[in-house]
Amino acid sequence: MDHPPTRRGRLRVYLGAAPGVGKTYKMLDEGQRRAARGTDVVVGYVDTHGRVHTAEQLDGLEVVPRQRLAYGGSTYEEMDLAAVLARRPEVALVDELAHTNVAGAGHVKRWEDVEALLDAGIDVVTTVNVQHLESLNDVVESITGIRQRETVPDQVVRSADAVELVDMSPQALRRRLAHGNVYAADKVDAALSRYFREGNLSALRELALLWVADQVDEGLARYRQQHRIDATWPTRERIVVAVTGGPESPTLLRRAALIAGRTTRGEWMAVYVTRRDGLSGTSPDQLARQHAMVHDMGGSFHTVVADDVAGGLLEFARAENASQILIGASRRPRWSAAFRPGVGERVIAGSGDIDVHIVSHDEARRGARDRDRRPDLGRGRTILGYVLGLVAPALTALLLYTTNDLHDLTLESMLMLSVVVVVALVGGLVPAMLAAVLSAILLNWFFVAPVHTLTIAQGQYVAVIAVFVVVGVAVASVVDLAAGRAAQARRASAEADALSVLSHSLLRAGESLPALLAQATEVFGMRGAAILTRTGDGWATTVAHGDAPESVADADVDVPIDESTFLVLRGRTLDASDRRLVTAYAAHAGVVIERTHAAEEHARAHELAEADRTRTALLAAVSHDLRSPLAAIKAAVTSLRNDDITWSEQDEADLLMTIEESADRLDALVANLLDMSRLRTGALTVLATDVDVVELARIAVAPLADADRVEVRGEQGVPPAYADPGLLERVLANLCENALKHTTSRVLVQVSGYVESDGAPRTCIRVVDHGPGVDDSDLDRLFAPFQRLGDVPQGDGVGLGLAVARGLTEAMSGRLEAEETPGGGLTFVLTLPQAVVRSPATPEEETR
């Protein structure tokens, strides 16, 4: 009876950078050592590749016979898993972990066979090359140009109890290869010049070393966790840099990357600590940009949730076995550390054996000053506060002294304290403190016995005066703080209103970058604004307003929209709250730019769809309209060449006329197609000159069939048009041909020229027919390609004549419209720029 194994087997992997480094030799040597110690070792599968020294290591080891499998007309040998399991050794040696088994062997992959042995409680020693690891497959292909079809999941190797690197320098491996110790002699030259190039081997060796180093780090982390070791073991430099999302963070990130780059295996991590309640004053856009900056500089970005920033930072650093912590210098005033230590002080106090670097930056003190300053107090108001702090207590004391019989010290103290509060509201804390001290002195001088001296006769009044000063200063501090908070609230409300207006404009605005820049210039009191894009040679202006800067260096304010685009303003510097609002404008500009790009992409997609629709319609129309005249020509020519039939002169003339008419139809069709193609691709060239439109109309009508049904006339003195004669002739021919198709043989088509006098003088041509006409709703569709409105035979053109006519007219800066003919029919109105009328030359000018 079989008993289930009491434990899972242990896996040992010999990892090599390339074939030939000695993995199989090391595996067999391990088997020999274990067998010498009395361990039951068998060889499940080993491929010596004909290497003599490797084959010698098999001496004395039991080899389980392989199973032979037929596949594709050949016979292959695979490990006999069932036989090894039945043998139940203590240790099985299994070569080539990533090998793919032949169909019929049981498992698809050899590593699955190894898993079965481990599950059975059998220890396994195996081999694998780094290029066979699944996660490195693409990297190895980019290095060697060869994609490995046989791979093993990284987790299989990572779960091994021991991974040992079999290392050999590229030069030594190439010497082994050249001596014939790896491949047969006929394969050596090809291998050395391809896969086994020194650069390839160096890169593969580095991959193997780094992969094993990561495994060692993971093992060390597990060991420290299992044994609850919190102390830092500086096996490599790991640097943790604290980021806040503020303007000083890029300085810290660059310093961390610089320190990490000074060591061979240095690693650095940026950490952002956010509160558990989710409240933060950090801009998400700033964090996103700094996250991208960390990635670009080779670091990793992490977010830690903690109520205490210092505690969360230290906890992360210890968990990552960090050796150094970088923190920016505090932006708080120095005196605040006496009441509550800052993050830097607390990190230093709790760092233990982790080195802490405090990095100075430009925002260290400027930020504190900007934060502490009352935003609504100007120089004039501050001066007024000092004046009021000196004058108001004196006037109040004088007033109270003159009415001394009406009140006592209690009321006098309250009134003087009220003066201190008023001074705090007007001038802030410092003037209020001055008023509190002065009020205390005046109370003592005028109202505490003995009066008119600074001497205090009774001890209780000393306490009264001291409490008055303390309460006055405290009340002034509270009032000043409340006034500051009120000012900040008003500023935040104004900022929220501006953002609301901005959001509303975003919802209803189109591509309005000029309007956005104009609004930003007005809101912030700037002279100009622009959106700049970084180019290889400098900066390119996308859009500008006012006195706009031409580069980021010329701007007083610059806010990034994306990696290469900036919103810049010129006029003055802004404080932090205004810069937040500028960031909102930059985000708005980014949305507008993205919307513009999306619209351009949509337009391009629409053009492609329209071109596809045109091609489809063209094929549908041309398939018949090209075939019909060609078929008529072929039939007529075949008939004329038929010697079995004797044709009369009239019959021959009719057949030749059929050929001529069909050829004319083909010529007109091809001309329209070429014209439409030139219009679609913008390849049309216009050579405008002065043109007599009436005379040109007669020339255009002459070649048409039924030209005698076209009447051309013009008003007296119709001025010439400024147009391309060839294109205009084509337009008139198409219009007249269309009119002739839609009228009966008894109705004339009238072409007339005249002058349009409204606005700028223009020369006009009317082509009038009295056919069936079209509905008003179809007038716009007349000029669309491939349209046949009305009762027109399908074989009579592809519907391009009017589309080409309008396109050619617009190319000549003209206009072509259709309107209903009074009494029935359709009238085309062609309007063209009038030629410049030149005065006759004088005799003197003619002789020059």
- Which token pair is 109? 């992959």
For residue 646, the model assigns a pLDDT of 79
CA–CA distance, 738 with 744 (Å, rounded to integer): 12
- Considering only CA atoms, which of 757, 759, 761, 773 is closest in space to residue 828? 773
| Residues 6 or more apart in contact with residue 415 via CB below 8 angstroms | 396, 400
For residue 85, the model assigns a pLDDT of 92
CA–CA distance, 439 with 432 (Å, rounded to integer): 10
The string of DSSP letters for 250-316 reads: HHHHHHHHHHHHTSTT-EEEEEEEE-TT----S-HHHHHHHHHHHHHTT-EEEEEE-SSHHHHHHHH
Q: Are 812 and 721 in contact (CB under 8 A)?
A: no
CA–CA distance, 745 with 710 (Å, rounded to integer): 11
**Residue given tokens 């930056």 in the structure block:** 361
Residue type, 388: L
CA–CA distance, 335 with 327 (Å, rounded to integer): 20
Q: Helix or strand or coil: residue 548? A: coil
What are the backbone dihedrals phi and psi of residue 475, each rounded to the nearest 5 degrees, phi first? -65, -40
CA–CA distance, 442 with 593 (Å, rounded to integer): 66
Count the alpha carbons within 13 Å of 760 in the hemisphere toward its beta carbon. 9
Beta-strand ranges (E) seen in 17-141 are 41-45, 62-63, 67-71, 74-78, 91-94, 123-129
| Residues 6 or more apart in contact with residue 274 via CB below 8 angstroms | 280, 303, 304, 305, 306
CA–CA distance, 785 with 789 (Å, rounded to integer): 11
The DSSP output letter for 690 is: E
**Residue given tokens 């991959």 in the structure block:** 207
Q: Are 488 and 376 in contact (CB under 8 A)?
A: no
Residue type, 742: H
Q: Are 836 and 689 in contact (CB under 8 A)?
A: no
CA–CA distance, 29 with 23 (Å, rounded to integer): 10
CA–CA distance, 138 with 159 (Å, rounded to integer): 22
For residue 356, the model assigns a pLDDT of 84
Surface-to-core class of residue 21, CB atoms within 10 Å of its CB (0-12 exposed, 13-18 middle, 19+ buried): buried
Q: Are 513 and 532 in contact (CB under 8 A)?
A: no
Q: 798: how many CB neighbours lie within 10 A of its CB?
A: 25
The DSSP output letter for 823 is: T
Asked whether the CA dihedral 321, 327, 333, 335 is positive or negative, the reply is positive
- Which token pair is 36? 């010498």
Question: What counts of helices (H) and strands (E) characterise the chain?
Answer: 26, 24
Q: Which residues pair with 540 in a beta bridge?
A: 533
What are the backbone dihedrals phi and psi of residue 44, each rounded to the nearest 5 degrees, phi first? -75, -45
What are the backbone dihedrals phi and psi of residue 583, each rounded to the nearest 5 degrees, phi first? -60, -35
Sheet holding 123-129, edge to edge: 62-63, 41-45, 91-94, 123-129, 11-16, 162-166
CA–CA distance, 226 with 220 (Å, rounded to integer): 10
The interaxial angle of helices 429-447 and 459-508, nearest 10 deg, is 150
What are the backbone dihedrals phi and psi of residue 654, each rounded to the nearest 5 degrees, phi first? -65, -40
- Considering only CA atoms, which of 96, 2, 4, 98 is closest in space to residue 43? 96
Q: Which residues pair with 77 in a beta bridge?
A: 68
Q: Are 142 and 200 in contact (CB under 8 A)?
A: no
CA–CA distance, 182 with 184 (Å, rounded to integer): 7
The DSSP output letter for 782 is: G
For residue 794, the model assigns a pLDDT of 41
Beta-strand ranges (E) seen in 521-607 are 528-534, 539-546, 557-560, 565-570
Q: In Å, how far are 35, 41, 204, 364 from 38, measured between CA atoms?
A: 5, 9, 37, 70
**Residue given tokens 């001497």 in the structure block:** 455
For residue 127, the model assigns a pLDDT of 93
The DSSP output letter for 5 is: -
Mean pLDDT per segment of 10 residues, for the chain of length 848 residues? 65 88 89 91 89 86 89 84 91 91 85 91 92 79 76 86 85 79 68 71 78 64 56 65 79 80 72 64 69 80 79 81 80 57 78 79 53 53 80 84 77 79 77 80 77 71 72 71 67 60 50 77 84 85 89 85 86 72 80 82 77 58 61 81 80 82 72 62 74 87 81 79 85 84 78 74 85 73 60 45 79 86 83 69 40
| Residues 6 or more apart in contact with residue 540 via CB below 8 angstroms | 532, 533, 534
Beta-strand ranges (E) seen in 459-527 are none
Q: Are 204 and 140 in contact (CB under 8 A)?
A: yes
Q: Helix or strand or coil: residue 333? A: coil
For residue 90, the model assigns a pLDDT of 93
CA–CA distance, 445 with 453 (Å, rounded to integer): 5
CA–CA distance, 256 with 265 (Å, rounded to integer): 14
CA–CA distance, 513 with 120 (Å, rounded to integer): 71
Q: In Å, how far are 626, 658, 734, 787 from 629, measured between CA atoms?
A: 6, 9, 19, 20
- Considering only CA atoms, which of 679, 766, 692, 757 is closest in space to residue 723? 692
Q: Are 848 and 801 in contact (CB under 8 A)?
A: no
